Amino acid sequence: MSRDKHLPLTETVYYILLALLEPAHGYLIMQKVEELSAGQVRMAAGTLYGAVDNLLKQKFIQPTASEDSRRKVYVITDLGREMLRQDYERMRHMIEVTNMQWGKEELLHEKI
């Protein structure tokens, strides 16, 4: 199976897509990303704007109705959800095989 050329997603893109499972405007995305990553990913305004711009071009997210006249609100698309799911599967596989390898290593140590 050939993997989509957009995968693997970068850490920031993954968190932005995850944040946009619910509609949000730019600054709210920044806050959500920080919260979801337990403070590990802190994006600055210019970087976030560029990332959102790219995701719009790739059609992973789309603008949605906004009550705010100034701030645009975005939400994930079906394509975006699919990318998120595929990247999740990729990472889950990595975690499973890592656990398995570590498990084998421990068994080996016990025998010795």
DSSP letter string, the chain: -PPPTTPSPPHHHHHHHHHTTS-EEHHHHHHHHHHHTTTS----HHHHHHHHHHHHHTTSEEEE--SSSSS-EEEE-HHHHHHHHHHHHHHHHHHHHHHHHHHHHHHHHHH-
CB of 6 to another protein, least distance (A): 16
Pick 11 or 78: Cβ nearer another protein:
11
The contact set with another protein (CB under 8 A) reads 12, 25-27, 30, 42-51, 70-72
CB of 42 to another protein, least distance (A): 6
Pick 5 or 70: Cβ nearer another protein:
70
